[in-house]
Amino acid sequence: MAVEAFGNASVEWFRGFLELPNGSTEHDTFTDVFAKLSPRKFEACFMSWAESISELFDGEIVSVDGKTGQSSHDMSSDKKAIHMDR
């Protein structure tokens, strides 16, 4: 999973914000957390965050609309993948 690989590669940077005595989180933990997220609430939080940093990219375009979160679906509970459509 790309999120796990990013976490492993960035563990020292994350230690600036978090206590990580055992290193980065494993793939299964990310899967469990993402499965429990409310797609609508995640979208609202993500959009709020994107708007808060938009001034950091003055004059640049960061496209996040039309994206579907890879492996953000949960077949066992019939949850569809998270999709950003704005």
- HSE-CB at 47 with a 13 A cutoff on CA atoms is 13
In Å, how far from its chain's centre is CA 86? 17
Cβ proximity of 19 and 1 under 8 Å: no
Distance (Å) of CA 71 to CA 26, 39, 57, 58: 15, 13, 28, 31
Can you list the residues of the chain whose pLDDT is less than 70? 1, 54-75, 81-86
In the prediction, which pLDDT does 62 show?
A: 62
Instruction: Label residue 82 exposed, middle or buried (CB < 10 Å: 0-12, 13-18, 19+).
Output: buried
